[in-house]
Amino acid sequence: MRTVSRSLLRRTTNSSILCRKNQTPSSISSRLPGSFPPLPLPLLLPTACHHRFCSTTPIMASPPEYHKALSRLSALQSNLAITSLFSIPLPDGTDRNAAAIPEMLFWLSRAGLSPETIASSGLKCVHVAGTKGKGSVSAFVGGILAQYASTEVGVYTSPHLVDQRERISLLSPRGDGLMIDEERFGKYVNLVWDTMTEEARKQLGSDVKQGDLEGPGTKPFYFRFLTIVALRALIDEGARDAVVECGIGGEYDSTNVLPKESVTAAVVTQLGIDHVGMLGNTVERIAWHKAGIFKEGVKAFTIRHPRETVGEVLRARAKEKGAELVEITDEEVRAWKGVQGGKLQGPFQKGNMALAIFAAREHLIKTGHKFEGRFGVDGEWRLDDIPEEFVQGLKQASLRGRCEVLRDGKDGTEWLVDGAHTEDSLAGVGEWFASRIAAVKGTTDGARILVFNQQERDPRALLTALLKGAEQEASGSKQVFTHAIFTRNEELPPKEGEKRDLSVQIKAGETVEEYSSAVESKVCDSVQSAIEQVRALAANARTEGKECQVLATGSFHLIGAVLRRINE
């Protein structure tokens, strides 16, 4: 166990003293201020193994083909390795994005697919781009379509948090959605892998060694490969309806090989600053990229952006692409009461639900469904007119690590988890947590714990947005949280002699201290240590007859680790 308070870290120049020799964590904790209790102890690509793609919980009964698939996926070049290249400009000034779609079409053909074969398969997709909310919108659209479908509805999203299969869901008609099973996941990963190997053999022949042909060097990087696997699975499984979420951007995203014949509606969710190296450092530039999924003759939906210049970019792109842009106003969303009692919670979800309703309605009309009453007439229907099937679809929609409420498998403590990495997203998360504790009896005077990390972005700005969002929802109170724990993303404590840089976590703790002296903060070097701190605080609260609620937010890597540890 290795945890240390912020104040102790400020007294040393070496953050590696988490546990000095001959000092136990308990002896350190006993000297720290605060109420944290002491704890017990191209043709050939370069490749890189990134084991975060592998499931960390072995399932002995899993099919051999599934384990083979996981092993192969772990050898692919990671998305992070690709996106990091965009921070280094090419010497001739060439845009690294320019080759993205031609390269993706090449890999698609190597897997035996093409835009033409996708179009002829009969698969019809709602295509979703955006900075925040695109996962929720995708889940909502999928939930609605499943209420009407006669076959499984496909949903392709990213990233995964615990299991790679989360990226490909097959929603049963009028039933709960499930990620693709191990047998089918293994089948399609290996099918695409082997097909690419054989095509490479035909093209390269004896010029390349057998081992290189069969290895990851003749395969695209991870996200491209999984996108192709998803398309292969949806087509071969006979899915007629699907929701496809972009990975990064839109214009040059791997999913943008979908032909216009296969797209029934496009959605651009809320926009903000993200992936600056690839998309640009202004919302207007990012809007240009996101609108790249617009297709000729296909309606596109967005919520009108408060900055008019962003709306101008989206409208110009729609005109350029030959698409009709439908802009939903904030007034429409505010006037609608929304759908209560769903699995994806939070006041900000109303806007995501509204986008999903517009897109799902358009998809169903395009695929031959006829609605009765005003809901079937363009320009006359309102959000309050949605059919019961839409209500049920919105309620049933779920997405791992997004506005998810669950209980710790060991002590029953309630955890609210939501991955968020932009200021706008974190402000919404803060509002959600504050509204939740206000609504649940017995939590306003209990322990309210924040677990946070965002390793690669400015923690001060992100934390401030989170705290301000919570404060606003709590009528100006700065005491929404009683404790804050800042941890790295590593799931397990460091090995003997291993040093971990905790400067980001220290800075986060200082930010909270400046915001409110009533919040006690702690720095941890692993998610396991952070969870043990939470369990100790929860136990203390229960001895006093009080409740404990925890908000885990920030990095999706953190959220994935939290989900694995508390579900053990």
Task: Give the three-class secondary structure for 171.
Answer: strand
For residues 473 and 554, state if they share a domain.
yes
Q: Which range is least confidently modeled, 51-55, 88-92, 103-107, 501-505?
A: 51-55
Per the DSSP assignment, residues forming a β-bridge with 380 are none
| Domain stops at, among 396, 414, 446 | 396
Q: Which residue would you say has higher pLDDT here, 152 or 92? A: 152
Q: Pick from 396, 416, 448: which residue ends a domain?
A: 396
Asked if residue 188 belongs to a domain, the reply is no
Question: How many Å apart are CA 62 and CA 184, to the nearest integer?
Answer: 11
| Dist. CA 418–CA 472, nearest whole Å | 19
Least confident piece of the model among 94-103, 137-146, 371-380: 94-103
Q: Is residue 136 part of a domain?
A: yes
- Model confidence at 17, pLDDT cuts 50, 70, 90, reads very low
414 and 472 assigned to the same domain: yes
Based on the fold, state whether residues 353 and 486 are members of the same structural domain.
no
pLDDT (tens digit per residue) in 459-501: 899 999 999 999 999 999 999 999 999 999 999 999 999 999 9
pLDDT at res. 444: 61
Residues 248 and 272 in one domain: yes
Asked if the structure places residue 533 within a domain, the reply is yes
**Is 472 among the domain residues?**
yes
Residue 200 lies in a domain: no
Structural tokens at position 556 = 């999706």
- The verdict on 365 and 301 lying in the same domain is yes
CATH code where residue 543 lies = 3.90.190.20
Say if residue 257 is in the same domain as residue 297. Answer: yes
* 373 and 504 part of one domain: no
The model's pLDDT over 196-238, given as tens digits with 9 standing for 90+, comes to 999 999 988 777 888 889 999 899 999 999 999 999 999 999 9
CATH number at residue 248: 3.40.1190.10
Whether 514 has a pLDDT exceeding 80, the answer reads yes
**What's the number of domains the chain is made of?**
2
- Residue 471 assigned to a binding site: no
Residue 312's domain comprises: 121-179+238-396
For tokens 């990495």, name the residue: 421
Mean pLDDT score of the chain, rounded to an integer? Answer: 86
Residues 431 and 384 in one domain: no
Is residue 275 marked as binding? yes
Residue 46 lies inside a defined structural domain of this protein? no
For 318-345, the pLDDT digits (tens) are: 999 999 999 999 999 999 999 999 999 8
Peptide bond into 220 cis (omega under 30): no
Name the least confident of 25-29, 153-157, 250-254, 281-285.
25-29
Q: Specify if 113 maps to a domain.
A: no
Write down the residue that tokens 């996981």 correspond to.
70
User: Is position 330 within any domain?
Assistant: yes
- Residues 392 and 504 reside in one and the same domain: no
163 is in an annotated binding site: no
Query: Terminal CA-to-CA distance of the chain, rounded, Å?
Result: 18
Tell me which of 365, 396, 427 is where a domain ends: 396
Question: Which residues, 6 or more positions from 460, have their beta carbon under 8 angstroms from its beta carbon?
Answer: 507, 508, 511
Claim to verify: residue 406 and residue 392 sit in the same structural domain:
no
Token pair, residue 329, equals 């106003």
Residues 476 and 441 in one domain: yes
Whether residues 491 and 365 share a domain: the answer is no
Portion of the chain with pLDDT greater than 70, in percent: 84
Helix (H, G, I), strand (E, B) or coil at 553: strand
Distance CA 471, CA 491 (A): 30
In sequence order, what DSSP letters do the residues of 266-318 get, joined into one string?
A: EEE-B-----HHHH-SSHHHHHHHHGGG--TT-EEEEEPPSSHHHHHHHHHHH
